[in-house]
Amino acid sequence: MSEGLPNRLSSSVLEAWYSQHAEALRAFLMGVLKDRHLADEALQATFTKAVEAGHSIESGGEKGWLFRVAYHEAMNLRRRQGIDGRALQKVALSGWQVAEGTTPDSNLMMQEKSEEVQAALLALPEAQRQIVGMRIYDDKTFAEIAAELTLPLGTVLSRMRLALEKLQKLLESVE
């Protein structure tokens, strides 16, 4: 990071803010998100925004600004997780509810649906298929997947969202 870039926070100021506020921000984010990986991601995003916009903050007002930005970053992460979770649940459960008294027809339909989903999964790009598999079959959280694949959480969430969109289109076209 260059000290002389206009409209950027200097590295010395950023380091001072980080040393003064990072632990309190991390504790705050842990309380909001209840997940260490998500809290770390929100903290990183907060300080990224500080680099970009921190120069415009009045001296002494950085603590309130950092906590406000951290809160918004945490809410964005929670919102993305909620959207992805609902989409995953919708794909996983849509049309798969079988009544107690199953008939041979319903068993055959269930088998056909299963084959359609497997074919749709195989049509996904490998990176997306891997994340879907880890989330659905291995029951891993997005933070665990990101850590295991050494990818940013945002990348994992984006790949999952794209995979779910493709699966939905593929499965709608089959019907």
Highest CATH level, class, for 99-174: mainly alpha
Are 33 and 15 contacting, i.e. CB atoms less than 8 angstroms apart?
no
Q: What are phi and psi of 7, to 5 degrees?
A: 60, 30
How far is residue 41 from each of residues 35, 105, 160, measured CA to CA in Å?
10, 48, 17
How far is residue 82 from each of residues 24, 31, 134, 144, measured CA to CA in Å?
26, 17, 18, 17
State the chain's mean pLDDT as an integer.
80
Distance between CA atoms of 117 and 110, rounded to whole angstroms? 11
Task: Give the mean pLDDT of 76-80.
Answer: 82
pLDDT tens, position by position, 117-170:
888 888 889 999 899 888 887 888 888 899 999 999 889 899 989 988 888 888
11-79 is classed in which CATH architecture?
Answer: Orthogonal Bundle (1.10)
Distance between CA atoms of 147 and 128, rounded to whole angstroms? 16
Distance between CA atoms of 101 and 68, rounded to whole angstroms? 54
Q: How confident is the model at residue 3 (pLDDT cuts 50, 70, 90)?
A: very low
pLDDT tens, position by position, 11-35:
888 888 889 999 999 999 998 888 8
Query: Does position 56 have pLDDT exceeding 80, yes or no?
Result: no
Q: For the chain, what are the domain ranges? A: 11-79, 99-174
User: Of the candidates 36, 111, 101, 40, which has an alpha carbon nearest to the alpha carbon of residue 73?
Assistant: 40
Task: Give the mean pLDDT of 3-10.
Answer: 59
pLDDT at 5: 45
Query: Does position 94 have pLDDT exceeding 60, yes or no?
Result: no
- Which is more confidently placed, 168 or 2? 168
Q: What are phi and psi of 2, to 5 degrees?
A: -90, 140
Q: How confident is the model at residue 1 (pLDDT cuts 50, 70, 90)?
A: very low
